[in-house]
């Protein structure tokens, strides 16, 4: 939806968010979110600061469907030695190529980061030991040697790795332990849980509520096992799909729930700890919430 507004003389001095709230009839949180997502222009220039003070006769254009401004996509190298590298992956980036000739994956961006540091990016092998969803941001490890790949792979398969996530889920979430058996098709084309004891793979998720938000809850989630989409499925099946969920939202919507608008999945791999595959030393990496996650979180706090 698009809106064209002109600041009246009596509105001069108001903040941009105050004017949007009044003229569009939206909550404070949405008024700020429109600005922070780059969907508001003042006199033709993108205005991301919701506290901007306005002058009379200024022209305000609002386009709720406008895409966010493009940004250079890069990964940060969090920890690295001769055997292992841990990166901080942005949301919207595949961990590894899933299609022939797919570019822009985390592996590609890591090699770009090496090139920027003057390293021989194409000569260092990268071996996959685990993945995080394309829509999920946060910590991702690769092995740089075959010996490290074998040892790390064993750690992940035996669940001897610390993996903690931060997420925002719809509704009021209580501390809980969720266990189920996950199958690739629950009968409607979606991954999900089965009640048949001899089917699927055992999955265990530990959820701790951290902060109550506007219609949602910030949670810390610890994986005891690491199955595909495990956190997203378990919270969705508990009646609390993640904010920004596009796949496991069907049941919530069918029950009359109103999904909170969000441009990204609010799921972030915040900690990754493991025993070094060669030296045996303990490695523990942490990743702060990225800016796009924090922006949405601040809107829900208000």
Residues classed as catalytic: 133
C-alpha atoms less than 13 angstroms from C-alpha of 42 in its C-beta half-sphere: 20
User: How far apart, in whole angstroms, are the C-alpha atoms of residue 147 and residue 152?
Assistant: 9
C-alpha distance across the termini of the chain, in Å? 23
Could you tell me if 207 and 176 are in contact, meaning their C-beta atoms sit under 8 angstroms apart?
A: yes
Q: Helices 16-24 and 28-36, interaxial angle, to 10°?
A: 120
HEC sequence for the chain: CEEEEECCHHHCCCEHHHHHHHHHCCCHHHHHHHHHCCCEEECCEECCCCCCECCCCCEEEEECCCCCCCCCCCCEEEEECCCEEEEEECCCCCCCCCCCCCCCCHHHHHHHHHHHCCCCHHHCCCEECCCCCCCCEEEEEEECCHHHHHHHHHHHHCCCCEEEEEEEEECCCCCEEEEEEEECCCCCCCCEEECCCCCCEEEEEEEEEEEECCCEEEEEEEECCCCCCHHHHHHHHCCCCECCCCCCCHHHHHCCCCCCCCCCCCEEEEEEEEECCCCCCEEEEECCCCHHHHHHHHHHHC
User: How far apart, in whole angstroms, are the C-alpha atoms of residue 183 and residue 297?
Assistant: 32
């Amino acid at each position: 939806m698009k809106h064209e507004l002109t600041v009246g003389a009596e509105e001069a001095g108001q903040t941009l968010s105050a004017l949007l709230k009044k003229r569009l009839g939206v909550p404070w949180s949405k008024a700020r979110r429109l600005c922070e997502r780059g969907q508001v222009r003042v006199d033709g220039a993108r205005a991301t600061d919701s506290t901007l003070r306005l002058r009379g006769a200024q022209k305000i254009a609002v386009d709720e469907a406008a895409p966010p401004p493009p940004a250079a996509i890069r990964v940060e190298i969090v920890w690295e030695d001769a055997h292992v590298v841990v990166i901080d992956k942005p949301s919207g980036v595949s961990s590894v190529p899933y299609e022939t000739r797919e570019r822009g994956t985390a592996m590609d961006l890591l090699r770009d980061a090496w090139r920027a540091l003057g390293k021989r990016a194409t000569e260092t092998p990268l071996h996959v030991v685990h993945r995080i969803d394309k829509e999920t941001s946060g910590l991702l490890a690769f092995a740089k040697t075959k010996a490290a790949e074998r040892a790390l792979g064993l750690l992940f398969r035996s669940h001897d790795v610390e993996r903690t996530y931060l997420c925002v889920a719809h509704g009021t979430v209580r501390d809980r332990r969720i266990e189920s058996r996950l199958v690739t098709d629950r009968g409607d084309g979606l991954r999900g849980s089965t009640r048949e004891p001899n089917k699927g793979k055992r999955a265990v998720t530990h959820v701790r509520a951290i902060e109550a938000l506007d219609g949602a809850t910030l949670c810390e989630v610890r994986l005891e096992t690491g199955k595909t989409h495990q956190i997203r499925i378990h919270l969705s099946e508990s009646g609390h799909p993640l904010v920004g969920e596009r796949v496991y939202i069907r049941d919530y919507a069918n029950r009359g729930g109103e999904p909170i608008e969000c441009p990204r999945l609010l799921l972030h791999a915040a900690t990754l700890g493991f025993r070094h595959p060669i030296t045996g030393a303990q490695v523990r990496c942490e990743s702060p919430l990225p800016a796009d996650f924090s922006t949405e979180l601040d809107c829900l706090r208000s």
